[in-house]
Amino acid sequence: MTATREKIEARKLPMMPIRDMVIFPYMMTPFVVGRESSVRALEEALSGDRKIFLATQHDASIDEPKAKDIYQVGAICNIVQSVKMPDGNIKVLVEGVERAKSTEVNDRDGFFVATVRTGKTEFEMTPAVEQLMTRVTGLFEQYVKLQQSLNYETIIATVRMDEPSKLSDTIAANLQLGIEEKQELLAIFDPAARLARIADVLDIEIEKLDLDRNIQSRVKRQMERAQKEYYLNEKIKAIQKELGRGEKSEFDELRKKIETAGMPKEVLDKAIQELKKLEAMPPMSAESTVSRNYIDWLLAVPWKKRSKETRSIEYAEKVLNADHYGLEKIKDRILEFLAVRQLVKNPKGSILCFAGPPGVGKTSLGMSIAKATGRKFVRLSLGGIRDEAEIRGHRRTYIGALPGQIIQHMKRAGTKNPVFLLDEVDKMASDFRGDPASALLEVLDPEQNTAFQDHYLDVDYDLSQVLFVATANVMHTIPAALQDRMEVLHLQGYTEQEKLEIARQYLVKKQREQTGLSEKNIAFGDDAILEIIRYYTREAGVRNLEREIGNVCRKVARRVVKNGAKHKEELTAGNIHEFLGVARYRESEVHEKSEVGLVTGLAWTEAGGCILTTEVQVLDGKGKLTITGQLGDVMQESAQAALSYIRGKATALGLSREFYRNVDLHLHVPEGAIPKDGPSAGITMATALASALAKIPVRRDVAMTGEITLRGKVLAIGGLKEKLLAALRAGIFEIILPRANEKDIAEMPDNIKKAMKLHFVDQMDEVLALALESPLPTVVPEENNVLAAVPATEISGNQPARQ
């Protein structure tokens, strides 16, 4: 194409790395210099011939680049103008003179000095080069026309030139390309090769711009078509109206659906009115979308469709017994509900609340009720909900508004009489967005829920035929007004025998099916299940028991896969540890020996009952009472009452009346990380104080629970069954209880009553007589002088273990 001759020149120049730009020869560019090294390089150039070598960084995010972070090919530039700005930066205007390649870069006095080779190329003009220049110029004119960001008149005037090198660099500087592509063009020293490469780049860029223009044109045509269709549709409607003819349209179908949906008259009128508004709106408007969504929701909610209810008590009893073991009271209440529905034509919806520890079958009971009655079942989890709009919905004025969860779940049910489970109703919260518990008051009130109003629908909706079932672990976090609207049925923890039956009849079969095993592969002996219950779980329900059975089944499944389908495992108490490892719990939590000031109490928690040890230590002092173990206010007050009782009965207990003046008492309840509260540890703490002061050990095989008064009366407590089950699990079979709780024993399972020796007491004197290993002394040893009741430091916590 050309006859070329290369003339190589080398020189040293200050070098400045630049970011996000590539400078070409013949290009005038302003930019701001702020880095210290760049400022020094600029000052060095200004003090000499005003020449500087500018090269682009590979990565613009590097603030202090090394030589390896900078492209070798750059441009030797002439500094046309420089102005120092108030913030210390320097604004410069440079003009590219010629491209050059750095062969060596050194750091001198805090800035780069580069040895560069210019490699000027001289060649003879040939017809082929002239033809290439003409082609590139034409392509660039076409590019500028398509590229809206470039001024056509100004740009075209600058590229009308006869020198190939200048033409190629001027065009390259004005192309809208990335840094890497521009750097590639800068690195081509031969003008003819550079022109050829620019021609290829222009072909690609023009094709991209043509494609973008075609897409924009197509979108514009589609918008114009939509506007045209809207105009013609409106004209057709006007013509049809003048002719008095009707037309089958989408609006006619909506009107038919509204009329056949079974809506009450008030709701029907509102739906028709909303449909008329929708017909008058432009289809593309935002308001029409909101209005259409509202009509769709009115149509989606069940107004008259209802499930055909099964009212057979025999069938319901069969279903409940098949799904759950025990829970006789709960089953009786459900069967009573079904009996009433047979006698009353339109009974009001009942609101049941199952309260009990985790894993006792509250949620599955709701599913069984739906199955027994032939109703649809929907479940709404209320745990963590803190926004009232989750229940009632948002008003339509908000963007993206939707009905609340009650209406959404009614749509999901598809009938107006489902079983609606409100799960974890005790775990709702409230904040600045409202109180969802208050919103539930209307939902769960049979006198009000015939006209429940969702903010989005803004019409009355009848919830009276819904059977609401709520579940909760505790009741004290549920507002009193909400509790008043529900019939609370307490599900207590399972006994060991009940857990065994549940595992045999339900859990083993379920886990065997889930792990792909059959009865030919695995067999659980009763002793193996009891071993898991006693030594691998400590719970009121059966959730962890099911988890451990599943753990065993998975390990057996692995052996079946390894040894063949005929492999079988017989699980017994002797080999269960091979699958579950070392036992997690001891058979008994009874102390190894009876000790002074150490008493076993019984506590109730959200997860069931548990054992709670109380310790008292007598120290030399001046009558101070220290209470530790993260005890709540009520429990601290019980400790104060217990101590006041001991002081008031000092003589009767064999203590000096002045015993408290020379000693301090420290009362501690272990597991200090767990918050504890409640009054029922009163007799436990009083016994521990009396034992420590009289130096008489407390029987290790006795546990107790009861509230104490200043006069030593023992008052009733709650959670009796859970506490007795906890004692049974811990291996304690002799319990001291308030006599006021004697009536509750009738409801206890027979195996508890047979296995345990229960003492019912009225006075603290009876407790001490039963709990202490020897009678209290009648003469007070001088060294037993002890303490005065002093207010304890407050220790509070969340989720208390209530005594």
CB 798 within 8 A of CB 632: no
CB 405 within 8 A of CB 454: no
382: number of CA atoms within 13 Å, CB side? 28
Rounded to an integer, what distance in angstroms lies between the CA atom of residue 174 and that of residue 228?
41
Rounded to an integer, what distance in angstroms lies between the CA atom of residue 618 and that of residue 37?
75
Task: State whether residue 419 is helix, strand or coil.
Answer: strand
Rounded to an integer, what distance in angstroms lies between the CA atom of residue 265 and that of residue 273?
12
Which residues lie across from 351 on neighbouring strands? 468
Which residues lie across from 234 on neighbouring strands? none
Rounded to an integer, what distance in angstroms lies between the CA atom of residue 796 and that of residue 803?
15
Comparing CA positions, the residue from 647, 773, 760 lying closest to residue 705 is 760
Rounded to an integer, what distance in angstroms lies between the CA atom of residue 764 and that of residue 645?
9
Comparing CA positions, the residue from 363, 473, 461 lying closest to residue 419 is 363
Q: Is 345 a catalytic residue?
A: no
Token pair recorded at residue 551 = 């753990």
Rounded to an integer, what distance in angstroms lies between the CA atom of residue 48 and that of residue 159?
32
Q: Label each residue of 207-242 as H, E or C.
A: HHHHHHHHHHHHHHHHHHHHHHHHHHHHHHHHHHHH
Rounded to an integer, what distance in angstroms lies between the CA atom of residue 2 and that of residue 191?
10
Out of 723, 743, 754, 774, the active site residue is 723
CB 234 within 8 A of CB 206: no
Cβ-proximal residues to 213 (8 Å cutoff; 6+ apart), any chain: 146
Out of 165, 464, 680, 691, the active site residue is 680
| Residue owning tokens 């022109």 | 195
CB 350 within 8 A of CB 369: no
Which residues lie across from 81 on neighbouring strands? 93
Strands 663-668, 608-620: pairing kind: antiparallel
CB 706 within 8 A of CB 738: yes
Q: Tell me which H or E stretch contains 523.
A: strand 522-524
Other CB atoms within a 10 A radius of the CB of residue 474 amount to: 16
Please report, for residues 365, 448, 555, the alpha-carbon distance to residue 545 in angstroms, rounded to integers and kept in the order given: 19, 42, 16
* Cα 227 to chain centroid, rounded: 46
Cβ-proximal residues to 161 (8 Å cutoff; 6+ apart), any chain: 167, 170
Task: State whether residue 264 is helix, strand or coil.
Answer: coil
Amino acid 48 reads G
What DSSP line would sit under 101-166, residue for residue? EEEEEEEETTEEEEEEE--EEEE---HHHHHHHHHHHHHHHHHHHH-TTS-HHHHHHHT--S-HHH
DSSP letter for 702, please: E
Token pair recorded at residue 535 = 């030594």
Q: Is the dihedral of CA 782, 787, 788, 789 positive or negative?
A: negative
Task: State whether residue 6 is helix, strand or coil.
Answer: strand
Which residues lie across from 615 on neighbouring strands? 598, 668
Amino acid 584 reads R
CB 462 within 8 A of CB 305: no
Please report, for residues 227, 292, 296, 399, 507, the alpha-carbon distance to residue 289 in angstroms, rounded to integers and kept in the order given: 17, 5, 10, 11, 50
Q: Is 312 a catalytic residue?
A: no
Catalytically active residues are 680, 723
